[in-house]
Amino acid sequence: MDGVSLNTDPVVDDDADADADEFEIEGDCGMAKCISQSGVIQGENPLPPVVGMEFDSYEDVYYFYNCYAKEQGFGVRVSNTWYRKTKERYRGKLSCSSAGFKKKSEANRPRPETRTGCPAMIKFRLMENKRWRIIEVELDHNHLISAVSGKFYKSHKQLGIGTKRALHLDSAEEVQKVRLFRTVVIDVEGNGSVEVSSGEFRSSHNQTSQLRLKDGDAQAIHNYFSHLQLIDPNFFYVVDLNEKGCLRNLFWSNTRSRVAYGYFGDVVAVDTICLTDKYQVPLVSFIGVNHHGQSVLLGCGLLAGDTIEACTWLFRAWLTCMLGRPPQVIITDQCRTLQAAVADVFPRAFHCLCLPRIMQKVPEKLGGLYEYESIRMALNNAVYYSLRPEEFEATWEDMIHHYGLRNHVWLQMLYEDRRQWVPVYLKEIFLAGMLLTRPNEVVESFFDGYLDKHTSLKEFLDKYDQALQANHQLEVLADVESRNSGFMLQSRCYFELQLAKLYTNNILRKFETEVEGMYSCFCTRQINGEGEVITYMVREQIEVDGNRRECRDFEVLYNATEMEVLCVCGLFNFKGYLCRHALSVLHQNGIEEIPPQYVVSRWRKDTKRSYVLNHSNGGIDINNPVHRYDHLYKCIMQVVEEGRKSEVRYKDTVQALDQILRKLNLVEGRL
């Protein structure tokens, strides 16, 4: 099984590179008796081992894996340890106690074989920074494991309650308040520093070593996380400690967010406004958009510093929470720190820069220039109204030349990053409406109304559930409206009738503007008919700069054989539904239904979405009590999810559960 990479350095299996100065020892090496008292794992482990995790010592790796093994229900043994001639350990392999097979015995009554050749293991090695890094992971076992039997394994006898390291906070009184955290240190090596321009992340070294907690903040974190663990068994969080054991960074996500990512994780925005605007709460939010076009929370983090290392750590923690499945597109502010971290952790995702946030900086960056208003209009014209890359670049060059802006540093940086934020370069990227591409659009924070610059961390945590509940209620109300109330169609257009049966009402309202706009396209003519692809030119009168209108021609390519239609405006990928120009061409060709490839499943109202985390990976062994428990828990959580939706369902659910309990008690009485 492939591990989730949590570090940037290349992972190399160098078994074959051992030279004469190195040798290997097989066996337990007395590891169970050598557990260091400087371990970093407290209580239960919140996640399994993954490639890239780093630890201070060999013993810490063993302790971490042994804790995980005890929780899962298997034993651990040291399969191999590699030494140099200096007797320094530089590599190790820990395996399930059922790994391999025992040597055949010639005894008259040999012991029965207890091993199964189990492949579960981790490999780790000593890095140049003198930390031990996991370089290979196999989580799957070829035998049943049970947490109930963990206490019988030899490796667990020395485990006890585990070593503990308190989180050192701003005052001695706060230290005891956070000891219940389950801690895994996911560390990154320093990548150096990069130059940042004005307005980007800035922090000195002493400000980034630990979170600046005020009186009561640690207790608020402890109380809130303890509460969530009680009501949400799949609540996930990771704590990052500095070298002194102080709380540095924090990430968390509840079950609903983790499940929502499975439905709406194709495009994710990272909101760092609290860092750039210096809020008291250094919050970073991961945001998606649901089937109604509403924002949905996919995880949160607190960062002590806005450095590459901190952002990289947070992104890796979030990716681990989401089982190593990166989004197709990730949207952030324009910031060299974020750009470096995204390139590191999400190399295959397309990285977009938030256009509205860039344009909001225009008054600050250009406001002092002579002829500012003319420059602003020229910039808007280039960014929002260019239809092709060459048109944008020509308009941009005219602006730079005409106003003498060749040496303007901020504009130079914008131009270098143009393929990540100018709409004309993003038309082939599906963005699900998350990248706003029209003038004067403003990005709203998920926590608007619950968090401002002066909100303390304690106040924010008190309001956190309110924000989530309000967002959840909006989704539920929109679900009810879409299912139970018919959408009032403004026209009898076939396209609108088709999608009214499939899409949620919020998306239909947005699509309706394109249907109405279809009738304002006053000239649709064919200009090229060679081969299967026909080129049309659709003319429309559009509003420019909010106070004047001009006619624009939009080129639309149409393939009747494949039922494909592509408009130069790119609205389908930007918003997730066809534009008025494409609809005009379909209408002119007598097409009465939108082709199926342009009916996007993420907007459908008939898709059943259950916000219950599904850990199932296969069949259920009813003879295994752990399997029975896990399966029953999953089933009952689905019942709870359905039963809470209305008063009638709640009463029916309670009645049905009472009947089940009475039936089970009767069965038990007969036994």
d(CA 57, CA 131): 7
**Would residue 186 count as lying in a domain?**
no
| Same-domain check for residues 342 and 373 | no
For residue 177, being part of any structural domain is answered with no
Side by side, the strands of the sheet bearing 523-528 are: 523-528, 533-544, 548-559, 564-567
Boundary of a domain, candidates 354, 371, 389: 354
Say whether 521 sits in a helix, a strand or coil. coil
Q: Shortest CA distance to 53 belongs to which of 149, 146, 125, 148?
A: 125
The whole-angstrom separation of Cα 248 and Cα 310 is 9
Whether residue 590 is contained in a domain is answered as: yes
Q: What is the pLDDT of residue 173?
A: 34
Compute the residue count for the chain. Answer: 671
List Cβ neighbours of 245 (8 Å cut-off, separation of 6 or more).
Answer: 165, 166, 167, 168
Whether 519 and 637 map to the same domain: the answer is: no
- In this predicted structure, which of 23-27, 81-85, 280-284, 471-475 has the lowest mean pLDDT? 23-27
Nearest Cα neighbor of 337 from 188, 189, 196 is: 196
Assess whether 231 and 345 both reside in one domain: yes
Q: E-assigned strands of 103-260?
A: 121-126, 132-138, 236-241, 247-253
Q: Which one-letter DSSP state was computed for residue 269?
A: E
The encoded tokens of residue 336 equal 């060299």
Chain centroid to CA 620: how far?
A: 29
Residue 439, domain member (yes or no): no
**345 and 364 part of one domain:** no
Question: 475-501: per-residue pLDDT in tens?
Answer: 999 999 998 877 677 777 889 889 999
Residue 453 forms part of a structural domain: no
Q: How many CB atoms lie within 10 A of CB 82?
A: 19
The answer to which of 54-68, 421-435, 450-464 has the lowest mean pLDDT is 54-68
Range of the domain at 517: 499-603
Q: Which of 550, 571, 603 is the last residue of a domain?
A: 603
Is the pTM here over 0.75, yes or no?
no
Whether residue 171 is contained in a domain is answered as no
Counted domains in the chain: 5
One domain for residues 243 and 286 = yes
Q: What integer pLDDT is reported at residue 4 of this predicted model?
A: 31
Q: Are residues 550 and 640 in the same domain?
A: no
Q: Which percentage of the chain shows pLDDT scores above 70?
A: 78
> Per mean pLDDT, which range of 324-338, 352-366, 608-622 is the poorest?
608-622
Q: Are 228 and 344 found together in one domain?
A: yes
Tens-digit pLDDT profile for residues 3-32: 332 333 333 344 434 443 445 444 444 333
**Do the strands 267-271 and 121-126 form a parallel or antiparallel pair, or are they unpaired?**
unpaired
Mean pLDDT of the chain: 80
CA distances from 381 to 235, 332, 370, 389 (A): 47, 23, 19, 13
The maximal CA–CA distance of the chain, rounded, in angstroms, is: 100
Closest-CA residue to 565 (of 542, 596, 540): 596
Domain co-membership, 411 together with 381: yes
360 with 348, same domain: the answer is: no
Distance of CA 508 to the CA centre of its chain: 27
Confirm whether 476 is domain-assigned: no
Verify that 367 and 413 share a domain, yes or no: yes
Residue 234 pLDDT level (bands cut at 50, 70, 90): confident
Q: Are both 143 and 224 inside the same structural domain? A: no
Instruction: Identify the residue with better confidence: 613 or 48.
Output: 48
CA-based R_g, the chain, Å: 29
Question: According to the model, what pLDDT value does residue 395 have?
Answer: 96
The reply to whether 392 falls in a domain is yes
pLDDT level of residue 227 (50, 70, 90 thresholds):
confident
Q: How far is CA 192 from CA 175, 307, 340, 498, 615, in A?
A: 32, 10, 11, 55, 39
Mean pLDDT in residue range 635-639: 79
CB 351, CB 334: distance < 8 Å = no
CA 266 to chain centroid: 10
pLDDT the model gives residue 613 = 64
Check whether residue 393 and residue 518 sit in a common domain. no
Is the pLDDT confidence value at 435 over 80?
A: yes
Number of other CB atoms surrounding residue 332 within 10 Å: 23
Q: Which of 354, 376, 406 is the last residue of a domain?
A: 354
Q: What pLDDT was estimated at residue 209?
A: 74
On the question of pLDDT at 551 being above 90, the answer is no
